[in-house]
């Protein structure tokens, strides 16, 4: 049995290589770019009018004569007309400039005289109201750098320069939930069974971190089935199992993992809840086998899995801080306690119903309070480490 800090360090030591996925742009908001993105086209892709107005060739205009309007270009259209001296084309915002034209006068700055316009814009100079081709980004230029967090504006920007897929720092994750007593929520509950809740809880937790699990399976506690499911899910970066990890006759997970060639790093941690927590590796895959009690599952998620994922995605998720405890608390020495808490007025209160099979306190908690392994008594007002959760 190792300490919480040893367990955390052993896990994080194995989270230093990059885990990169190429994903459709729409799935990457909130992720960090794993390679610089090069522009594949000039943007704008052509000289573009920035206004509703009239396009003309500045140097072919004598500065006083009315211009004859010889046609119109809407956004999305192109015109093959070549403008001659004292000619103009009606043009709209976003439309491609006609060949040779370099200047747009706003529609508000002209007087219309039949088929002609008279420009009334004393300050107008060559190039006004035109967005030059490539003025945002040139083909081949770096559009966004590796390491950039992708925001909605970043997604929109990349879509605008024709990018469809990007490489981001993001591990793949699968979930295997074990237990003969589990009923999925769509069924009627049979005697002796309970509704399965770890799969949905872990899926929701992963989605909070921007990760959709590759597979979520409820596996029967039968060794052959377990081995089969583990084997077919060892291709992900993180494999999370719940249940069957204790030392009971039907706790088949550690044995099944060994049968699959998984290298055990540790099994059992000096903590409450979640003492039977198992961690191992198989090539690049990290295997987190958690005890099946839902509060232990959630605690291990926040304390071990989220920090591991954070290393891979290069993002911060849950803030840790020190807060004074609102009451005295007595605990057993030799185990780190993770308690469901609620913060208010710059202190933190331990919620009732901390047993690992109960989730009602966890459901209203806004933090996990860590009470250190060697402590037997924590005084009211003493600072404790608090992990703020969502």
* Six-digit token string for 28: 């990457």
Query: Alpha-carbon distance 358 to 362, whole Å?
Result: 8
Nearest residue to 325 (alpha-carbon basis) of 370, 287, 285, 272: 370
* Six-digit token string for 246: 């204790």
Residues 145-164 that bind a second copy (CB under 8 A): 148-149, 151-164
In the chain, what's the furthest Cα-to-Cα distance? Answer: 98
Residue 138 interacting with a second copy (CB under 8 A) = no
Total residues contacting a second copy by CB under 8 A comes to 92
| Residue tagged 């729409």 (tokens) | 26
Question: In this chain, which of 20, 60, 132, 208 binds a second copy, going by CB under 8 A?
Answer: 208
Closest approach of Cβ 6 to a second copy, in Å?
24
Query: Alpha-carbon distance 37 to 202, whole Å?
Result: 32
Residue 363 interacting with a second copy (CB under 8 A) = yes
Bond from prior residue into 273 cis (ω within 30 degrees of 0) = yes
Interacting stretch for a second copy, rule CB under 8 A, among 57-65, 180-188, 260-268, 328-336? 180-188
Question: In this chain, which of 105, 144, 234, 350 binds a second copy, going by CB under 8 A?
Answer: 144
Nearest residue to 281 (alpha-carbon basis) of 266, 268, 300, 264: 264
**Residue placing its CB nearer to a second copy in the complex, 2 or 73:** 73
Residue 330 interacting with a second copy (CB under 8 A) = no
Residues 261-280 that bind a second copy (CB under 8 A): none
* Six-digit token string for 223: 């060794």
Closest approach of Cβ 372 to a second copy, in Å?
23
Q: Please, are residues 322 and 387 in contact by the beta-carbon 8 Å criterion?
A: no
Which residues, in sequence order, are CB contacts of 190 under 8 Å at separation 6+? 183
| Residue tagged 């052959």 (tokens) | 224
Closest approach of Cβ 291 to a second copy, in Å?
9
Which residues, in sequence order, are CB contacts of 115 under 8 Å at separation 6+? 68, 69
145 three-class SS: coil
Question: In this chain, which of 57, 365, 371, 384 binds a second copy, going by CB under 8 A?
Answer: 365
Beta bridge partners of 339: 369
Query: Alpha-carbon distance 250 to 179, whole Å?
Result: 9
Residues 43-72 that bind a second copy (CB under 8 A): 43-46, 48, 50, 52
CA terminus-to-terminus distance, the chain: 30
**Residue placing its CB nearer to a second copy in the complex, 64 or 247:** 247
x/- site string to a second copy, residues 233 to 252, per CB under 8 A? -------------xxxxx--
Closest approach of Cβ 137 to a second copy, in Å?
6
**Residue placing its CB nearer to a second copy in the complex, 81 or 375:** 81
Closest approach of Cβ 50 to a second copy, in Å?
7
Question: In this chain, which of 2, 262, 362, 386 binds a second copy, going by CB under 8 A?
Answer: 362
Interacting stretch for a second copy, rule CB under 8 A, among 42-50, 266-274, 279-287, 341-349? 42-50
Closest approach of Cβ 312 to a second copy, in Å?
19
100 three-class SS: coil
Residues 98-117 that bind a second copy (CB under 8 A): 107
């Amino acid at each position: 049995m190792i300490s919480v800090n040893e367990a955390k360090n052993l896990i994080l030591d194995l989270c230093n290589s990059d885990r990169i996925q190429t994903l459709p742009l729409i799935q990457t908001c909130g992720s960090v770019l794993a390679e610089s993105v090069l522009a594949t086209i000039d943007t704008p892709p052509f000289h573009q009018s920035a206004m509703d107005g009239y396009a003309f060739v500045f140097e072919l205009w004598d500065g006083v004569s009315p211009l004859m309007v010889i046609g119109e270009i809407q956004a999305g259209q192109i015109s093959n007309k070549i403008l001659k001296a004292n000619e103009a084309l009606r043009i709209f915002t976003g439309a491609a400039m006609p060949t040779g034209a370099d200047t747009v006068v706003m529609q508000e700055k002209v007087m219309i005289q039949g088929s002609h316009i008279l420009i009334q814009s004393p300050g107008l100079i060559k190039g006004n109201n035109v967005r030059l081709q490539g003025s945002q980004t040139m083909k081949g230029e770096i559009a966004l750098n590796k390491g950039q967090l992708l925001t909605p504006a970043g997604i929109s920007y990349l879509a605008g320069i024709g990018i469809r897929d990007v490489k981001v720092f993001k591990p793949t994750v699968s979930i295997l939930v074990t237990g003969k007593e589990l009923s999925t929520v769509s069924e009627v509950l049979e005697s002796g069974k309970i509704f399965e809740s770890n799969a949905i809880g872990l899926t929701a937790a992963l989605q909070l971190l921007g990760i959709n699990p590759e597979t979520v399976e409820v596996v029967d506690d039968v060794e052959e089935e377990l081995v089969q499911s583990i084997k077919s899910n060892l291709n992900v970066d993180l494999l999370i199992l719940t249940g069957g990890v204790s030392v009971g006759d039907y706790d088949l997970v550690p044995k099944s993992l060994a049968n699959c060639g998984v290298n055990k790093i540790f099994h059992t941690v000096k903590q409450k809840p979640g003492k039977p927590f198992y961690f191992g590796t198989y090539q690049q895959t990290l295997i987190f086998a958690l005890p099946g009690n839902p509060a232990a599952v959630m605690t291990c998620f926040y304390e071990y899995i989220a920090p591991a994922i954070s290393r891979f995605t290069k993002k911060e998720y849950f803030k840790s801080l020190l807060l004074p405890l609102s009451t005295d608390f007595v605990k057993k020495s030799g185990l780190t306690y993770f308690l469901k808490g609620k913060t208010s007025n710059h202190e933190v209160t331990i919620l009732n119903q901390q047993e690992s099979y109960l989730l009602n306190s966890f459901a209203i908690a806004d933090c996990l309070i860590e009470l250190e392994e060697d402590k037997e008594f924590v005084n009211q007002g003493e600072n404790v480490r608090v992990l703020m959760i969502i």
